[in-house]
Homo-oligomer: A and B are copies of this chain.
Amino acid sequence: MKSHTAYLTFNTKSRREYINITLEVESELKKSGIKEGLCLVNAMHITASVYINDNESGLIQDFDDFLEGLAPHEPLSRYRHNRTGEDNGDAHIKRSVMGREVVVAVTDGRLDFGPWEQIFYAEFDGRRPKRALIKIIGE
C-alpha cells in the first residue's frame, strides 16, 4: 500500500469564501502515483468545510445565503460560543452543515468523478492562515 499526504494553506481576504481546489487535489494524486484507492480531503480547522458540488457562481451564492439564513453571523450574542471572546459561533455551525471532509474514489489514476463534481474549500472564518489536508492511500 502506498500513501501520500499534502497540505493546502488558505488565507482568504473576506470572512467567507468558496475556493475550487479540484486541480490541487488532482495534482497531488498525480504525484502520489496511486492508481486505485481512496482520497480524503478535509478542512483542518473547525470553521471551514470541504465539500463537492457545482462550480457555478449563482449556486455558490445560494449556498452562502442558505447558510447565513440557518446560522447568521449576527447578532454575535446569538451564540454562547462568542462569550469566549470569539466572533465565529456561526462559522462552527455553517461548517457542520456543509461537512468537514470528502472521500473520493481513485480509479485508474484519476478522481472517479461524475460530470459536474468539483471539490471546494469553504471558509467561514477567514482572514488568517488555515489548512486543508489531502491523504491518498492505495496502490
Contact = CB atoms under 8 A, between A and B. Distances in A.
Interface of A: 1, 3, 5, 36-38, 40, 42-46, 51-54, 56, 58-59, 61-63, 66, 70-71, 79-84, 89, 92-93, 95-105, 107, 112-117, 131, 133, 135, 137-139
For chain A, what secondary structure do more than half of its interface residues adopt (helix, strand, loop), or is it mixed?
A: mixed
A54 B37 CA distance: 29
A61 B46 contact: no
Nearest to A131: B114
Given A62-B79, A83-B58, A92-B54, A44 B113 contact: yes
Contact of A117 (B44, B58, B59, B61): B44
